[in-house]
């Protein structure tokens, strides 16, 4: 088994060439892309009936599209559009900021349920299939927050962003934490985001097949507990 894992680590494929100056070619190990394709293909296939049910519930609950798409910063700081099930009213961006607390009036009834058990994140398997994301990797942020910590993200975004990671497990109840803060934006920028960045760097240093499988297993336990 150890020889097989060593073989996979030695062989990597160039995934995206970085366009910014001073950044080396970005690579994704072939084992990681294989895991991504396997989990995303199986996930989309098995979850397609659930996707259909969720789509109907969203449409019955409120006006607007089934999916919410938002620009995020990906590997090599390239912009992509992330897929999520829509959990807020259609014109939510015009009625408030990007951070949301559990009691946010913009969240729909179905959206509150989807957020509670993280089902709103499932469409990101589409981003994984397209090669814009990975199953395990630092969570993608919006450009505004990446710009605030640009040098840190130069290091983190040598890898593609992921659906789950160390920070996702630690901050599973992030919205509840922000709801207790007097200034959620300040709390996120000064305390939560720097910790997420530190965890992102830790993952980048320790990235391995064993760690990825461990984080996937722990994420599934959190969902179904």
Among 154, 62, 141, smallest CA distance to 108 is for 62
Domain regions of the chain by residue span: 8-224
Task: Identify the pLDDT of residue 91.
Answer: 80
Q: What is the pLDDT along the chain (225 residues), one digit of tens a residue?
A: 444 344 434 433 333 333 333 334 467 889 999 999 999 999 999 999 999 999 999 999 999 999 999 999 999 999 999 999 999 998 877 777 667 766 778 999 999 999 888 899 999 999 999 999 999 999 999 999 999 999 999 999 999 999 999 999 999 888 888 888 889 899 999 999 999 999 999 999 999 999 999 999 999 888 776
> Do 19 and 76 contact (CB within 8 A), yes or no?
yes
Task: Identify the pLDDT of residue 82.
Answer: 97
- 90/68 Cα distance (integer angstroms): 9
Task: Identify the pLDDT of residue 121.
Answer: 93
> Do 153 and 161 contact (CB within 8 A), yes or no?
no
């Amino acid at each position: 088994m150890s020889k097989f894992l060593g073989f996979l680590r030695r062989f990597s494929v160039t995934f995206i060439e970085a366009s910014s100056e001073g950044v080396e070619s970005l690579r994704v190990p072939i084992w990681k892309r294989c895991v991504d394709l396997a989990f995303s293909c199986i996930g989309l296939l098995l979850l397609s009936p659930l996707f259909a049910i969720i789509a109907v519930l969203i449409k019955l609950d409120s006006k607007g599209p089934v999916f919410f798409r938002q620009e995020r910063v990906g590997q090599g700081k390239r912009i992509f559009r992330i897929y999520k099930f829509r959990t807020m009213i259609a014109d939510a961006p015009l009625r408030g900021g990007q951070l949301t607390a559990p009691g946010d009036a913009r969240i729909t009834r179905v959206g509150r349920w989807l957020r509670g058990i993280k089902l709103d994140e499932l469409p990101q398997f589409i981003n994984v299939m397209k090669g814009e994301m990975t199953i395990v990797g630092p969570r993608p942020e919006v450009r505004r927050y990446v710009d605030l910590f640009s040098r840190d993200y130069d290091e983190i975004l040598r890898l593609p962003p992921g659906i789950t990671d160390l920070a996702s497990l630690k901050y599973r109840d992030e919205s509840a934490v922000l709801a207790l803060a007097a200034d959620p934006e300040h709390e996120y920028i000064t305390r939560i985001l720097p910790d997420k960045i530190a965890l992102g760097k830790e993952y980048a240093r320790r990235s391995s097949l064993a760690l990825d499988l461990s984080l996937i297993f722990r994420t599934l336990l959190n969902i179904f507990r």
